[in-house]
């Protein structure tokens, strides 16, 4: 049995304004613990943590991100074992006027959680809006500042009518399968493919792109050459530290980073674990909370929950110490041996001189008889 509880959450910039968040109590109407949790939530961060722990879930899946408040519920409504792509509405001005587009990622190095690729775009004539919003390298901004900028991009009139964005959330489960599968795909390949797919998505959505700026993966020259072959109609710049050089790349970086942060906050474990992001930390190998989570949540047979990237050496080391050794039979690399006669035996062959070679029939060969042609 489910119980619907209305939670009023104060809007940070308007003290007297409230929004109502309907949530589903997973424990049912008699679950006093869940009702107490729902009634006591005061901030969006607390709401996200409760969703991630599995106590609460959105009643109606959110299919559109219109502010920071809708980001967490949208992500929570998706299957986190698969990739998720989201494209914002395209501002009308981005269809009419030529635009610049930036590409960047977040979460490349962590052992936990998804890697998120993001793009942002705006008209060349409106690029000053990026500076007004405070777009800078997301790694140099505090989490609170990134959240404010992301929210402003989606709620301020001047911003949302000039800037569009999109993200690709690459599941840790997909990363592990690609890197450890029989047909391997490196993280660099996944990164480049995600960037290309997002640019294609923007083009298909009707964005009038003229310039593209990308934070590089690997050698920038090779990456730029590859993109120019795929998108010859654009002026493309691939550079190191592009997120700190080009404001449009900074905007993409902020969208990617905020999306990854909230993906972790609302993470729901298919394995049934009741944990929040405070229990597993930032996901980076150097984080002591993350290392503690890895050592305490490894199954002897099945390994880690699917939030973990099994392909990371940090995870592999823990598995070697605490999990069972598993050996897989590799397919025989030798060519199969056939017991019967090969099909090619039935085709006639010739000598170097062009003479037809005829093999003696089995009846004569078994009786040591020869064909006689001269008498």
Q: What is the dihedral of CA 329, 331, 335, 339, to 10 degrees?
A: 60
Count the domains in the chain: 1
Q: What is the mean pLDDT of residues 27-37?
A: 38
In a domain, 165, yes or no: yes
Based on the number of CB atoms within 10 Å of its own CB, is 27 exposed (0-12), middle (13-18) or buried (19 or more)?
middle
Average pLDDT, rounded, for the chain? 82
Contact 75, 248 (CB under 8 A): no
Range of the domain at 179: 68-266
Ordered DSSP codes for 215-264: E-SS-HHHHHHHHHHH-TTSEEEEETTGGGT-HHHHHHHHHHHHHHHHHH
Around Cβ 214, how many Cβ atoms within 10 Å? 26
Mutual angle of helices 44-52 and 247-265, in 10-degree steps: 50
Dist CA 190 CA 238 (whole Å): 17
In a domain, 63, yes or no: no
215 labeled binding residue: yes
Give pLDDT tens digits for 226-245.
Answer: 999 999 999 999 999 999 99
Residue 51 pLDDT: 52
pLDDT of 44 higher than 60? no
> Would you state the structure tokens that stand for residue 196, as one six-digit string?
């290309």
Give pLDDT tens digits for 76-132.
Answer: 999 999 999 999 999 999 999 999 999 999 999 999 999 999 999 999 999 999 999
- Which CATH number fits the domain that encloses residue 183? 3.30.420.10
Dist CA 47 CA 19 (whole Å): 13
pLDDT of 273 higher than 70? yes
pTM: 0.74
In a domain, 310, yes or no: no
Nearest-5° Cα angle at 205, 171 to 200: 55
Dist CA 257 CA 261 (whole Å): 6
Pairing of the two strands 84-87 and 164-170? antiparallel
Give pLDDT tens digits for 254-270.
Answer: 999 999 999 999 999 98
Dist CA 336 CA 114 (whole Å): 41
In a domain, 227, yes or no: yes
Dist CA 17 CA 276 (whole Å): 28
316 labeled binding residue: no
What is the percent of the chain where pLDDT is above 90?
65
pLDDT of 20 higher than 50? no
Show the DSSP H helices in 108-240 as ranges: 128-133, 143-155, 157-160, 172-180, 187-204, 220-230
Nearest-5° Cα angle at 230, 227 to 234: 70
> For residue 28, what pLDDT band results from cuts at 50, 70 and 90?
very low
Number of alpha helices (DSSP H) and beta strands (DSSP E) in the chain:
15, 11
What is the percent of the chain where pLDDT is above 70?
74
Dist CA 302 CA 196 (whole Å): 34
In a domain, 60, yes or no: no
In a domain, 34, yes or no: no
Give pLDDT tens digits for 139-192.
Answer: 789 999 999 999 999 999 999 999 999 999 999 999 999 999 888 999 999 999
In a domain, 197, yes or no: yes
> For residue 365, what pLDDT band results from cuts at 50, 70 and 90?
confident
pLDDT of 11 higher than 70? no
Q: How far apart are the first and last CA of the chain?
A: 103
CA separation, residue 244 to residues 104, 195, 214 (Å): 11, 18, 11
Dist CA 371 CA 365 (whole Å): 10
In a domain, 111, yes or no: yes
């Amino acid at each position: 049995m489910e119980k619907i509880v209305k939670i009023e959450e104060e809007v940070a910039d308007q003290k007297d304004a409230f929004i109502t968040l309907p949530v589903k109590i997973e424990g049912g109407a008699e679950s006093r613990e869940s009702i107490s949790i729902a009634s006591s939530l005061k901030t969006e961060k607390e709401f996200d943590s409760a969703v991630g722990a599995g106590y609460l879930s959105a009643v109606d899946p959110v299919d559109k991100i219109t502010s920071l408040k809708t980001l967490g519920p949208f992500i929570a409504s998706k299957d986190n074992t698969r990739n998720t792509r989201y494209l914002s509405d395209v501002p009308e001005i981005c269809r009419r006027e030529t635009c610049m587009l930036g590409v960047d990622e977040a979460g490349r190095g962590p052992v936990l959680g998804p890697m998120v690729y993001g793009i942002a775009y705006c008209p060349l004539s409106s690029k000053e809006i990026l500076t007004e919003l405070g777009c800078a390298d997301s790694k140099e901004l505090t989490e609170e500042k990134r959240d404010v900028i992301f929210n402003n991009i989606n709620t301020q009139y001047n911003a949302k009518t000039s800037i569009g964005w999109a993200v690709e959330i690459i599941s840790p489960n997909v990363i592990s399968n690609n890197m450890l599968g029989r047909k391997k795909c490196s993280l660099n390949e996944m990164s480049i493919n995600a960037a290309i797919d997002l640019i294609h998505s923007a083009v298909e959505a009707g964005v009038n792109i003229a310039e593209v700026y990308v934070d590089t993966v690997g050698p920038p020259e090779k990456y730029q050459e590859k993109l120019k072959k795929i998108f010859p109609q654009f002026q493309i710049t691939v550079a190191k530290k592009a997120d700190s050089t080009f404001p449009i790349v900074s905007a993409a970086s902020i969208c990617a980073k905020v999306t990854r942060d909230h993906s972790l906050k609302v993470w729901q474990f298919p394995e049934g674990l009741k944990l929040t992001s405070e229990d597993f930390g930032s996901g980076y190998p150097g984080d002591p909370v993350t290392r503690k989570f890895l050592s305490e949540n490894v199954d002897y047979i099945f390994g880690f929950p699917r939030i973990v990237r099994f392909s990371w050496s940090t995870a592999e080391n823990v598995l070697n110490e605490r999990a069972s050794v598993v050996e897989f039979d590799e397919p025989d690399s030798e060519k199969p041996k056939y017991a019967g006669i090969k099909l090619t035996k039935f085709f006639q062959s010739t000598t170097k001189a062009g003479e037809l070679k005829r093999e003696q029939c089995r009846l004569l060969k078994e009786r040591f008889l020869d064909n006689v042609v001269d008498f």
